[in-house]
Homo-oligomer: A and B are copies of this chain.
Amino acid sequence: MDACAHCAVRESAICHSLPEDRLEELSRYGRRQNVTRGQTLLWEGEDSLLVGNVIDGVLKLSASTWDGCDQTLGIAYPSDFIGRPFGTKSQQSVTALTDAMVCTFTRADFDAVAQRNPDLEHSLLQRTLSDLDHARRWMLLLGQKSAIERVASFLLEMASRLSEDGEDEAGRIVFELPFGRQEIAEVLGLTIETVSRQITRLRCDGLIETPGKRTIAILDREELETRAESA
């Protein structure tokens, strides 16, 4: 497959570090795979047989407690890397939040190619370091922030991830969440009711609008940032 050459994430996924010939090598092992919304690609605690790149769509990484509460541990967007290379069990499930397309490799294949391509490992290292930074910033949110701060932070992060163009004609930042309320709750370590109440509160205070169930329009970014930081 020379699909790589025309891949939507050719320039942004870790593959970008490989020159043409090496890319060709990697591509022999890759497999493009459609995933439908709700489908789980990797299961928590099972051996991580697959790794890969997200090409399109949004997926979540999650883990759950003995009693079934789910916590979302990370969100994977196009060009993000998923799975756990180098011989370890996956500590989290990977589930599609939207219909998605991923480019997968068996872990064994990927490990072998990576060992032969330091540049690929370097890209992966860079990406893993940012993921770690990001996870730790999220720990601060989970450990210290109030419900309203969490929701405000979440909306701001989603805005920066999902609103391709800045603002619409009315100066609003509009975007479609790939999350239902329950899924937001799982990201923030809250309940669905609390999330709903905080969103209502932000709407009543005139900081946001919610034209559709999953559509958010940010009216006052500045104030929302203040709410994300202080009670």
Q: Which residues of A contact B (CB under 8 A)?
A: 61, 63, 65-67, 69, 71, 73-74, 84-86, 88, 91-92, 115, 118, 121-122, 124-126, 128-133, 135-140, 142-145, 188-189, 229-230
Contacts and interface: CB of A to CB of B under 8 A. Distances in A.
B132 A128 contact: yes
A17 to B, nearest CB: 12
* Copies of this polypeptide in the complex: 2
B140 A73 contact: yes
Interface centre among A67, A118, A137, A144 (most CB of B within 10 A): A144
A143 B190 CA distance: 8
Nearest to A65: B144
20 contacts: A63-B137, A65-B144, A65-B145, A66-B230, A67-B230, A84-B133, A86-B125, A88-B130, A91-B137, A115-B122, A125-B125, A125-B128, A128-B128, A131-B132, A132-B132, A135-B136, A135-B139, A142-B189, A143-B188, A143-B189
Contact of A138 (B84, B115, B131, B139): B139
Nearest to A115: B122
A115 B126 CA distance: 12
A124 to B, nearest CB: 6
Contacts of A73: 136, 139-140
